[in-house]
């Protein structure tokens, strides 16, 4: 790889880093291309050159880390599934939920990836960014969880399974968006001290939702 190619990749990554930070705290409409390029130290035309448009930049910020996060989800799912198969048991619902939410919650507590998680929480609300096609492609990862749930709950319809996944993601996104609210709500009695404790509490709550269906698991 020649020096010119390295320079282009460095510029592209700087733009993505800056855009991720800005979009994580401000709306799509309020962040200007000029602000991004100025802070990244590149020409104003660089966004169009690398991403085609402001929308393309926003979507690229989403995709860059989404693939890594979804890969972590599937690696956890495979790890749990292998352990359960070795023991001759179906994969417990608590581990299915844990594989689903652990990477985002862990990333939230990390200084670097936490910026992306805050961006992610806003991305789903940004209609102007035209995220529909990108989101449709990335949410395909959740299909990988469905067979494991079907093994555990053979009488549960696909419709009910996807609703439950939707509710789990809703709990996760609310927690991400309002991680500090638990301290206010509880008058200081509760604190989101670490990602493991936060993850475990979400898993416990969502597991009860599945068991509320009247099925064992």
pLDDT per residue as tens digits for the range 146-168: 999 999 999 999 999 999 999 99
What pLDDT band is residue 135 in, cutting at 50, 70 and 90?
A: confident
Quote the CA–CA distance of 73 and 101 in Å, as a whole number: 8
pLDDT > 60? residue 116: yes
Mean pLDDT score of the chain, rounded to an integer?
89
pLDDT per residue as tens digits for the range 94-113: 999 999 999 999 999 998 89
What pLDDT band is residue 215 in, cutting at 50, 70 and 90?
A: very low
Query: Measured between alpha carbons, how far apart are the two ends of the chain, in Å?
Result: 52
Residue 175 three-state SS = helix
Annotation: CATH topology of 64-211: Tetracycline Repressor; domain 2 (1.10.357)
> Angle CA(187)–CA(102)–CA(104) in degrees, nearest 5?
80
Residue 7 has a pLDDT of 61
* C-beta of residue 19 within 8 angstroms of C-beta of residue 62: no
Supply the DSSP string of 92-141, one letter for each residue.
Answer: PHHHHHHHHHHHHHHHHTSTTHHHHHHHHHHHTT-GGG--HHHHHHHGGG
Quote the CA–CA distance of 153 and 54 in Å, as a whole number: 44
pLDDT > 70? residue 8: no
* Lookup result for tokens 């799912």: 77
């Amino acid at each position: 790889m020649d020096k010119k190619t390295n320079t282009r990749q460095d510029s592209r990554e700087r733009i993505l880093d800056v855009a991720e930070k800005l979009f994580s705290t401000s709306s799509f409409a309020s962040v200007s291309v000029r602000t991004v390029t100025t802070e990244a130290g590149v020409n104003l035309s660089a966004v169009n050159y690398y991403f085609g448009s402001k929308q393309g930049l926003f979507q690229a910020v989403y995709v860059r880390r989404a693939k890594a996060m979804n890969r972590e989800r599937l690696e956890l799912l495979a790890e749990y599934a292998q352990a359960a198969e070795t023991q001759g048991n179906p994969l417990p619902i608590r581990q299915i939920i844990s594989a689903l939410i652990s990477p985002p919650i862990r990333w939230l507590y990390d200084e670097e990836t936490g910026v992306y998680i805050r961006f992610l929480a806003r991305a789903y609300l940004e209609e102007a960014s035209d995220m529909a096609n990108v989101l449709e492609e990335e949410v395909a990862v959740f299909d990988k969880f469905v067979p494991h749930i079907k093994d555990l709950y053979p009488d549960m319809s696909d419709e009910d399974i996807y609703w439950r996944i939707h509710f789990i993601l809703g709990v996760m996104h609310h927690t991400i968006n309002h991680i500090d609210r638990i301290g206010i709500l509880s008058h200081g009695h509760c604190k989101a001290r670490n990602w493991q404790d936060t993850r475990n509490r979400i898993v416990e709550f969502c597991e009860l939702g599945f068991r509320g269906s009247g099925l064992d698991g």
